[in-house]
Structure 1
Amino acid sequence: MIFVSNPQIENNFKYHAPKPGQSEIYEQIREKAKELADLIDEKCPKSREASLAMTNLEQAVMWANAAVARN
Protein backbone atom coordinates (compact mmCIF):
# COMPACT_ATOMS: atom_id res chain seq x y z
CA MET A 1 0.00 0.00 0.00
CA ILE A 2 1.34 3.43 -0.96
CA PHE A 3 0.77 6.24 1.53
CA VAL A 4 0.12 9.70 0.10
CA SER A 5 0.44 12.45 2.67
CA ASN A 6 -1.92 15.38 2.88
CA PRO A 7 -0.20 18.45 1.34
CA GLN A 8 -1.49 20.70 4.15
CA ILE A 9 0.10 18.42 6.76
CA GLU A 10 3.34 18.36 4.76
CA ASN A 11 3.38 22.16 4.67
CA ASN A 12 2.46 22.65 8.33
CA PHE A 13 5.15 20.33 9.69
CA LYS A 14 8.18 21.27 7.64
CA TYR A 15 10.85 23.87 8.16
CA HIS A 16 10.17 27.14 6.36
CA ALA A 17 13.39 29.06 5.78
CA PRO A 18 12.75 32.81 5.86
CA LYS A 19 12.26 34.36 2.45
CA PRO A 20 13.52 37.86 1.70
CA GLY A 21 11.53 40.42 3.65
CA GLN A 22 9.90 37.96 6.03
CA SER A 23 12.21 38.73 8.96
CA GLU A 24 11.06 42.35 8.82
CA ILE A 25 7.41 41.26 8.85
CA TYR A 26 8.03 39.03 11.89
CA GLU A 27 9.66 41.97 13.67
CA GLN A 28 6.73 44.28 12.86
CA ILE A 29 4.24 41.74 14.20
CA ARG A 30 6.25 41.25 17.41
CA GLU A 31 6.67 45.02 17.86
CA LYS A 32 2.94 45.73 17.60
CA ALA A 33 2.10 42.79 19.87
CA LYS A 34 4.60 44.07 22.45
CA GLU A 35 2.85 47.46 22.40
CA LEU A 36 -0.43 45.74 23.21
CA ALA A 37 1.24 43.54 25.84
CA ASP A 38 2.64 46.64 27.54
CA LEU A 39 -0.82 48.25 27.51
CA ILE A 40 -2.46 45.13 28.96
CA ASP A 41 0.24 44.92 31.63
CA GLU A 42 -0.19 48.58 32.54
CA LYS A 43 -3.99 48.90 32.47
CA CYS A 44 -5.39 45.49 33.41
CA PRO A 45 -5.54 44.26 36.98
CA LYS A 46 -3.25 41.31 37.61
CA SER A 47 -5.69 38.46 37.17
CA ARG A 48 -6.41 35.21 35.42
CA GLU A 49 -8.09 37.18 32.65
CA ALA A 50 -5.02 39.36 32.12
CA SER A 51 -2.84 36.25 32.04
CA LEU A 52 -5.13 34.70 29.43
CA ALA A 53 -4.99 37.90 27.40
CA MET A 54 -1.18 37.69 27.38
CA THR A 55 -1.21 33.99 26.52
CA ASN A 56 -3.61 34.56 23.65
CA LEU A 57 -1.58 37.52 22.41
CA GLU A 58 1.49 35.26 22.33
CA GLN A 59 -0.54 32.71 20.38
CA ALA A 60 -1.73 35.38 17.96
CA VAL A 61 1.89 36.36 17.25
CA MET A 62 2.83 32.72 16.72
CA TRP A 63 -0.04 32.10 14.30
CA ALA A 64 0.52 35.37 12.44
CA ASN A 65 4.18 34.43 11.96
CA ALA A 66 3.14 30.94 10.88
CA ALA A 67 0.81 32.49 8.30
CA VAL A 68 3.74 34.47 6.87
CA ALA A 69 6.08 31.46 6.91
CA ARG A 70 3.68 28.89 5.50
CA ASN A 71 2.01 30.89 2.74
Structure 2
Amino acid sequence: MTQDQLDNWFSYHAPEGDDLERYAKLRSAGKVFAETINECCPESADKTAAVRKVREAVMTANASIACRGK
Protein backbone atom coordinates (compact mmCIF):
# COMPACT_ATOMS: atom_id res chain seq x y z
CA MET A 1 0.00 0.00 0.00
CA THR A 2 1.08 3.52 -0.65
CA GLN A 3 1.24 6.62 1.53
CA ASP A 4 -1.47 8.14 -0.71
CA GLN A 5 -3.75 5.21 0.11
CA LEU A 6 -3.13 5.58 3.83
CA ASP A 7 -3.71 9.33 3.63
CA ASN A 8 -6.98 8.72 1.80
CA TRP A 9 -8.21 5.99 4.16
CA PHE A 10 -7.46 7.95 7.30
CA SER A 11 -8.87 11.35 6.41
CA TYR A 12 -12.33 12.89 6.49
CA HIS A 13 -14.34 12.72 3.29
CA ALA A 14 -17.25 15.13 3.08
CA PRO A 15 -20.29 13.65 1.33
CA GLU A 16 -20.67 14.61 -2.32
CA GLY A 17 -23.48 14.26 -4.81
CA ASP A 18 -25.73 11.32 -3.96
CA ASP A 19 -23.42 9.91 -1.25
CA LEU A 20 -25.95 10.45 1.56
CA GLU A 21 -28.63 8.60 -0.42
CA ARG A 22 -26.28 5.69 -1.11
CA TYR A 23 -25.21 5.52 2.57
CA ALA A 24 -28.86 5.42 3.61
CA LYS A 25 -29.64 2.68 1.08
CA LEU A 26 -26.80 0.52 2.39
CA ARG A 27 -27.81 1.09 6.03
CA SER A 28 -31.40 0.20 5.22
CA ALA A 29 -30.46 -3.01 3.43
CA GLY A 30 -28.06 -3.96 6.22
CA LYS A 31 -30.71 -3.33 8.86
CA VAL A 32 -33.22 -5.56 7.05
CA PHE A 33 -30.65 -8.35 6.85
CA ALA A 34 -29.66 -7.92 10.52
CA GLU A 35 -33.34 -7.99 11.54
CA THR A 36 -33.80 -11.20 9.53
CA ILE A 37 -30.83 -12.80 11.27
CA ASN A 38 -32.21 -11.66 14.63
CA GLU A 39 -35.62 -13.16 13.81
CA CYS A 40 -34.41 -16.48 12.42
CA CYS A 41 -31.40 -17.39 14.51
CA PRO A 42 -31.24 -18.57 18.11
CA GLU A 43 -29.37 -16.41 20.62
CA SER A 44 -25.74 -17.44 20.32
CA ALA A 45 -22.24 -16.18 19.72
CA ASP A 46 -22.74 -17.03 16.02
CA LYS A 47 -25.83 -14.83 15.80
CA THR A 48 -23.95 -11.97 17.42
CA ALA A 49 -21.05 -12.47 15.01
CA ALA A 50 -23.39 -12.57 12.01
CA VAL A 51 -24.98 -9.24 12.92
CA ARG A 52 -21.56 -7.74 13.63
CA LYS A 53 -20.37 -8.82 10.19
CA VAL A 54 -23.41 -7.23 8.53
CA ARG A 55 -22.56 -4.00 10.36
CA GLU A 56 -18.94 -4.33 9.26
CA ALA A 57 -20.02 -4.90 5.65
CA VAL A 58 -22.19 -1.75 5.69
CA MET A 59 -19.36 0.29 7.20
CA THR A 60 -16.85 -1.04 4.66
CA ALA A 61 -19.23 -0.35 1.78
CA ASN A 62 -19.71 3.19 3.09
CA ALA A 63 -15.93 3.60 3.19
CA SER A 64 -15.74 2.57 -0.45
CA ILE A 65 -18.11 5.41 -1.29
CA ALA A 66 -16.30 7.95 0.88
CA CYS A 67 -12.87 7.00 -0.44
CA ARG A 68 -14.12 7.05 -4.03
CA GLY A 69 -12.98 3.48 -4.63
CA LYS A 70 -9.33 4.37 -3.97
TM-score normalised by the chain length of structure 1: 0.91
Runs of 4+ in 1 over 2 A off after TM superposition: none
Tell me if 1:33 matches 2:30.
yes
* Structure 1 unpaired stretches of 5+: none
CA-atom RMSD, angstroms?
1.0
* Identity within the alignment, %: 37
Aligned to 2:10: 13
TM-score normalised by the chain length of structure 2: 0.92
Q: Please tell me whether Structure 1 or Structure 2 has the larger radius of gyration of its CA atoms.
A: 1
Q: Quote the offset at 1:19 in angstroms.
A: 0.3
* Structure 2 unpaired stretches of 5+: none
> Hey, what's the Cα distance between the residues in 2 that align with 1:9 and 1:35?
32
> Hey, what's the Cα distance between the residues in 2 that align with 1:37 and 1:6?
35
Partner amino acid, structure 1, of 2:32: E
Tell me if 1:47 matches 2:44.
yes
